[in-house]
Amino acid sequence: MSGAAGQVVVFGSLNADLTVHVDRFPEPGETLSGSELVTAPGGKSSNQAATVAVLGSPARLIGAVGDDANGRFLLGRATDAGVDVSGVTTEAEHATGSAMIVVDAAGENTIIVSPGANGAHDPDTVDAEEFADAAVVCLCLEVPLRAVQAAAEHGRAAGAQVLVNLSPYADVPKQLLGLTDVLLVNRTEAALVLGRDDVGEDWSTALDGLVGLGVDRAVVTLGADGSVVLDATQTGDDRIAVVDPISVEVVDTTGCGDAFTGALAHRLAGGASLAEAARFAAQVSALAATAQGAQTSYTAFAHLKEPTRD
């Protein structure tokens, strides 16, 4: 491990989450009344960084906001969560990213993101120095792909483990997969990256396919069915580990995937194996589903905080 003190560097997005609760989702062309609008901190990367900090690892967020009230709100809330936001720039010519979120009575959501300043990342402005102390670099696809690739290159050069969450899904160049130490995908994303209609249940074949794309280690999340860890660096039965689902009363699934990613990064930064980290992440993301919102639900797992390493 490279980074002293197990630092996790999260490069990517910050959004103001504008959330309304409804009994059911509207049909196309239909108007429904919902609950009062709630504005809360979100964005996949900001959520991941908040998770890392809540769990007790040093978390550094690199991203961009606009010069507006939402931007100041997001920076304030991330700082309160314990995230180092000194790598977040303010882009005066863009609005802060926002996400229009509708949550139904079952806790499922639909999300439309307006990227705003998140779209302003340019590979030339991704500074290698920002990644120098990283033990783990966390990436998602809510910012331009070329900037994600630059961040992966800097993470790899620093000796960090590069964790890539292919969400929201986009086809990625093989070079980015080759820079990925741990790929985090759901079942649909796994099928897409493997170029199949369905990923199926034959995890050994799926792992072989990923290895062919340059990815040796992956976690495939399976929703209510838990997740599976695929690890070509292990031998025999240890190459595939099934992580059982954790049953909770679901209130709101917003930000649960990001909590999973952040928890995985936190444990990997502490030296855990991928299977150990995934078992812990399953617990964290299940607890995140028991309260409303993304970062606002993360108090539900704050009791799992571990002492910060020196």
Catalytic machinery residues = 258
Cα–Cα dist 219/112, whole Å: 25
Total residues contacting ligand RIB by CB under 6 A comes to 16
Per CB under 6 A, 43 contacts ligand RIB: yes
Q: What are phi and psi of 21, to 5 degrees?
A: -95, 140
The stretch near ligand RIB (CB under 6 A) out of 11-19, 75-83, 84-92, 276-284 is 11-19
Across the beta sheet with 98-103, what order do the strands follow? Answer: 38-42, 15-21, 98-103, 109-114
Nearer to ligand RIB, 8 or 102 (CB): 102
Residues 21, 44, 94, 266: which binds ligand RIB (CB under 6 A)? 44
Residue (116 or 270) nearer to ligand RIB, CB: 116
Structure tokens at 221: 């999340």
SS3 category, 138: strand
Min CB(194)–ligand RIB separation in Å: 23
Q: Rounded CA gap, 5 and 308, in Å? A: 8
Site string for ligand RIB, 137-176 (x = CB under 6 A): -----x----------------------------------
> Whole-angstrom Cα distance, residue 202 to residue 182?
19
Q: How near is the Cβ of 147 to ligand RIB at its closest, in Å?
A: 16
User: What is the number of the residue whose Cβ is closest to ligand RIB?
Assistant: 42
**The amino acid at 217:** R
Residue 173 to residue 212: CA distance in whole angstroms: 14
Cα 308 to its chain centre, rounded Å, is: 21
Q: Which residue type, as a one-letter code, is found at position 2?
A: S
Nearer to ligand RIB, 18 or 158 (CB): 18
Q: Does 42 bind ligand RIB (CB under 6 A)?
A: yes
Residues 246-275 that bind ligand RIB (CB under 6 A): 254-255, 257-258
Which 3 state secondary structure label does DSSP give 77?
helix
Q: In the complex with ligand RIB, which residue's Cβ is closer, 19 or 180?
A: 19
The answer to whether 81 contacts ligand RIB (rule: CB under 6 A) is no
State in angstroms the smallest separation of the CB of 109 from ligand RIB.
8
Q: Compare residues 130 and 252 and give the one whose CB is closer to ligand RIB.
A: 252
Q: Distance (Å, rounded) from C-alpha 145 to C-alpha 181?
A: 17
Longest dimension (CA), the chain: 56
Q: Judged by CB under 6 A, does residue 111 bind ligand RIB?
A: yes
Is position 294 an interface residue for ligand RIB (rule: CB under 6 A)?
yes
Q: Quote the CA–CA distance of 277 and 283 in Å, as a whole number.
A: 10
- Block residue for tokens 């959520």: 47
Q: Does residue 181 touch ligand RIB according to CB under 6 A?
A: no
The answer to whether 209 contacts ligand RIB (rule: CB under 6 A) is no
Which pairing describes strands 38-42 and 15-21: parallel, antiparallel, or unpaired?
Answer: antiparallel
Interface contacts to ligand RIB, rule CB under 6 A: 13, 15, 17, 42-44, 47, 99, 111, 113, 142, 254-255, 257-258, 294
